[in-house]
């Protein structure tokens, strides 16, 4: 009988049969572009959606409609000319996570990890690596942040033509073809329906 009670307790604990869902209110993906050699602009996605399922399969979506840098015209050009948002409405990041390490972390603890990612952008996929910090901030909450920016190169995603068009439209001599990307994700554990 005691074994049955223990099994039921484990089966219905918050750490079993649960997905980790991105809390968009406390998550941000941002990057810096430099034009004319010395003018830097911060771009960011105000909405980040995604889930890590029970098997550790992670999928994040960055919808281009949420891309912003406080300059409406420039943001619109980035969406339409560079990212071709009408064809590719979002960037996708996928990864495989070892959830057992997260679930064993005491509240308040921090660990560093190396993550292998796949970024899908402009119809192209590339593998990237990221050094991240994982913080267990609550019983059912984890925060993941990059320890250093992840560098994304335009040439790897066939974005150089779009960059050339942006330079022509804006009459500027240069836009850096490589950008540092910074990620902050807050994830909440949500039981999945049985």
pLDDT tens-digit map of 112-164: 999 999 999 999 999 999 999 999 999 999 999 999 999 999 999 999 999 99
pLDDT of residue 117: 96
Residue 162 · residue 85 · CB < 8 Å? no
pLDDT of residue 5: 38
pLDDT of residue 18: 77
For residues 89 and 78, give the distance between their C-alpha atoms in angstroms, rounded to a whole number: 12
What is the mean predicted confidence (pLDDT) over 17-27? 90
Query: What domains are defined for the chain?
Result: 18-191 (2.40.128.110)
* pLDDT over 70 at 3, yes or no: no
The residues, any chain, with a CB within 8 Å of residue 52's CB and separated by 6 or more, are: 19, 20, 58, 59, 97, 99, 187
Residue 163: phi and psi, rounded to 5, are -65, -40
pLDDT digit string (tens) for 67-111? 998 788 889 999 999 999 999 999 999 999 999 999 899 999 999
194 band by pLDDT with thresholds 50, 70 and 90: low
* pLDDT over 70 at 4, yes or no: no
Residue 162 · residue 83 · CB < 8 Å? yes
pLDDT of residue 17: 55
Instruction: Classify residue 25 by burial, with Cβ atoms within 10 Å: 0-12, 13-18, 19+.
Output: exposed
The residues, any chain, with a CB within 8 Å of residue 15's CB and separated by 6 or more, are: 103, 189
């Amino acid at each position: 009988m005691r074994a049955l009670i223990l099994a039921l307790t484990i089966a219905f604990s918050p750490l079993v049969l649960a997905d980790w869902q991105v809390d968009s209110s406390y998550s941000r993906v941002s990057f810096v572009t430099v034009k004319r050699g010395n003018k830097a602009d911060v771009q960011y996605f105000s909405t980040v959606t995604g889930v890590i399922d029970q098997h550790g399969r992670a999928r994040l979506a960055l919808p281009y409609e949420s891309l912003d840098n406080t300059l409406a015209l420039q943001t619109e050009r980035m969406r339409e000319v560079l990212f071709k948002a009408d064809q590719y409405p979002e960037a996708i990041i996928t990864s495989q996570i070892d959830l057992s390490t997260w679930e064993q972390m005491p509240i308040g603890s921090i660990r560093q990890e190396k993550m292998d990612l796949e970024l899908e952008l402009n119809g192209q996929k590339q593998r990237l690596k990221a050094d991240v910090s994982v913080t267990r901030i609550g019983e059912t909450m984890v925060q993941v942040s990059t320890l250093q920016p992840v560098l994304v190169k335009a040439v790897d995603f066939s974005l150089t033509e779009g960059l050339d068009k942006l330079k022509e439209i804006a009459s500027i001599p240069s836009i850096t073809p490589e950008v540092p990307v910074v990620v902050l994700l807050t994830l909440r554990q949500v039981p999945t329906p049985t």
